[in-house]
Chain A
Amino acid sequence: MPEITLSQAVNQAIAEEMRRDETVFLIGEDVAEAGTPFKVTSGLVEEFSTERIIDTPISEPGFMGLAVGAAMTGSRPIVDLMFGDFLFLVMDQLCNQAAKIHYMSGGKLNVPLVLRTNLGATRRSAAQHSQSLHALVAHIPGLKVAMPSSAYEAKGLLKTAIRDDNPVVIFEDKLMYQDKAFVPEEEYCLPFGKAAILREGTDVTLIGTSSMRQVCEKAALLLEQDGISAEVIDPRTLVPLDENTILDSVKRTSRAIVVDEGHQNFGTTAEIAARISEKAFYFLDAPVIRMGAMDVPIPFSPVLEDITVPTAAVVAEKAKKIVAGELIHAL
């Protein structure tokens, strides 16, 4: 199995699906010659021409709307939204239009489109280029949400997203574009709604989305040194969410920490924690802990930015406390 970067994985997924299905096209700002600022789509325009790799003006609501219309009438657009923060600009087309059309038409119309965008802080990009906004779209019925945590997931989930007949929003971590992982040479898709258990454990379950999966894996290594056995789960998709894998694990370990880079208040961690509390309550030996980004706009200054997102050390610290039965009521 070759090792490739997340950026290459995304590039391969798009190229393979475009070869397989001529109704797939890519649209967004500077996706053609420039290959996006993250160089994710480099080389695609040479193979597929500017007819299927479409550079747009800086008109996010406009090209999002175009994609919705094209999807309803037979295309399978992949929309490239340069920064996750720009979701706020496309919200009407995505949430009022794309998300609801299948339902409002009584199942007669489909919107098979993929919105590729990103999340993640600590790039020193300040408050308008650092947000992780997946919880916002996961809140809207009719949208599927995928959160790849390495190159392997990025490729497999994107291919599934492109083949899905519903609008799918996929969040890549912009800090991970250059990170490498083993990716099979033969074709594969990863199913939605199927979590991965990355490490088995008996004392506590760490559930980490996207980049927070790596944080949880590192925390598990730290915990091992203290004789604590942590299980690590990557949900891979938030909508649909693989509740069973999470609940089975927590029933075995009796403790859970949910780690995610979105803001903590009203966020992804809250949703997953609530489901565990509702459905595995009698198996729990400690309150389910949420760990999200701090509830502040992401600051520019490195000394401030670095403390806004969960780190392995902080996750391990909390895990130790709940395993030791400390501070059960207030963490």
Chain B
Amino acid sequence: MYTQMVKIRVFEDNANQLYLDAKMPGLTHMYSGEEAVAVGICEALRVTDKITSTHRGHGHCMAKGADFRQMFCELLGKVKGYCRGKGGSMHIADQTNGNLGANAIVGGSMGIATGSALRAKLQKSDDVTVCFFGDGATAQGLMYEVMNMAALWKLPVIYACENNGYSEYTSTDEIAAGEILERARAFGIKAFNVDGQDVIAVNKLASELVEKARKGKGPFFIELMTYRYHGHHVGDINRTYYRSKEEETEWKKNRDPIEILGTFLKTEGIANDDELRELYSKVRSEASEAVDYAINADYPDISEVDMHVFQEG
């Protein structure tokens, strides 16, 4: 889990640099700071389990088993990317690992995740689907329609609300009335709150719920308290009008998910500083090798533009 979190952090650092160097087309929303959420949950899943992701989707993609090269290629619009360059940052997904897609419509994947769980039930498979979404997405009506059906039909879906305190430039208290967990409970869905910076806690809870959901005891709802280190997107640099520098520093210094797990590993004698540092630098060099690969990779041939509008045959 430590390695997975480091991979996400390093991926995002590189993505940011690609943006700053004007090597990446468009914008991207970074996952840095929220690594324990995706990793803690995805480590409780197997390959055939499904996830749906968001506009802030690099972390989910990586945690569900994607590799650096194809991810960087997608980010740069290259044909070797997971979506052949057609999706980019906001639609990045490694489909072979059960990722049904990152979504640029806030809340847009809630139906998809619940439908995937319906499919598992119809097929009598014990696969579980996890729907990742932000606190801001809880304002979408679709969520309440699908939670109602998921609860009625006991679907194996877990709604994972990544509460990072903000939707875009607005703090969550200004846009969410009442308690988010109570909304799920109103449908009879068991709902839990967990520290989203503590990957062990996230993983423990997720593993329990996934096992229950496999046995037909779902759906479940988890609210994970977390924080995004960067702006809403890479271009959101001046943030003081909506959140303070002190708040950002406090999370980065005292609640960093990688630091928290690192400290645990050291206290338990599982790893020492040198080993962790070495791991970090190994991941860094893998990432920069992949960045070079992606920069030198080919763009799609322009004949691909009208390919994949429909499934042929």
Contact = CB atoms under 8 A, between A and B. Distances in A.
Interface of A: 29-30, 33-34, 37, 55-59, 61-62, 85-86, 89, 123-129, 294-297, 299-304, 307-308
A240 to B, nearest CB: 32
A124 B233 CA distance: 14
B91 A30 contact: no
Nearest to B84: A301
B141 A300 contact: no
Contacts of A304: 77, 85-86, 299-300, 302, 304-305
Given A300-B87, A301-B300, A128 B104 contact: yes
Given A300-B88, A302-B25, A34 B170 contact: yes
A300 B170 contact: no
Given A58-B139, A300-B85, 18 more contacts: A30-B169, A34-B241, A58-B106, A58-B140, A86-B105, A124-B25, A125-B90, A126-B91, A127-B86, A128-B91, A128-B104, A301-B25, A301-B77, A301-B299, A303-B299, A304-B86, A304-B299, A304-B305
B141 A57 contact: no
Contacts of A85: 104-105
Given A123-B26, A304-B305, A37 B176 contact: no
B137 interface: yes
A83 to B, nearest CB: 9
Contacts of B237: none
Nearest to A34: B169
Given A55-B170, A124-B88, A303 B306 contact: no
Contacts of A57: 136, 139, 167, 175-176
A307 B299 CA distance: 14
Nearest to A303: B299
B174 interface: yes
Task: Choose among B90, B105, B167, B176 the residue with the greatest number of A CB atoms under 10 Å from its CB.
Answer: B105
Contacts, number: 120
Contacts of B89: 300
A15 B109 CA distance: 37
The 3 closest A-B CB pairs, nearest first, are: A300-B88, A124-B26, A301-B77
Task: Choose among A125, A296, A299 the residue with the greatest number of B CB atoms under 10 Å from its CB.
Answer: A299
A29 B170 CA distance: 9
A39 to B, nearest CB: 11
Contacts of A30: 168-170
Interface in B141-174: 141, 167-170, 174
A294 to B, nearest CB: 7
A299 B107 contact: no
Contacts of A55: 170, 174-175
B300 A62 contact: no
Instruction: Determine the main DSSP class of A at the interface with B.
Output: loop
Interface in B197-222: none
A128 B140 contact: no
A182 to B, nearest CB: 29
Interface in B79-102: 79, 83, 85-91
Contacts of B167: 57-58
A184 to B, nearest CB: 33
B304 A29 contact: no
B77 A300 contact: yes
Given A62-B141, A304-B305, A126 B136 contact: no
A301 B85 contact: yes
Nearest to B78: A301
Contacts of B26: 123-126, 300
A123 B25 CA distance: 8
A186 B139 CA distance: 42
Contacts of A34: 168-170, 241-242
Given A33-B242, A125-B26, A126-B104, A303 B137 contact: no
B111 to A, nearest CB: 12
Nearest to A86: B105
A126 B88 contact: yes
B91 A300 contact: yes
A109 to B, nearest CB: 25
Contacts of A56: 175
Contact of B105 (A124, A128, A296, A300): A128
B91 to A, nearest CB: 6
A37 B29 CA distance: 14
B78 to A, nearest CB: 7
B309 interface: yes
A228 B302 CA distance: 31
Task: Choose among A34, A56, A86 the residue with the greatest number of B CB atoms under 10 Å from its CB.
Answer: A34
A299 B86 contact: yes
Contacts of B78: 301
5 contacts: A33-B242, A58-B136, A128-B105, A129-B90, A304-B299
Contacts of B241: 33-34
A58 B142 CA distance: 12
Contacts of A294: 305-306
B14 to A, nearest CB: 18
Contacts of A302: 25, 77, 299
Nearest to B307: A296
Nearest to A33: B241
B139 A59 contact: yes
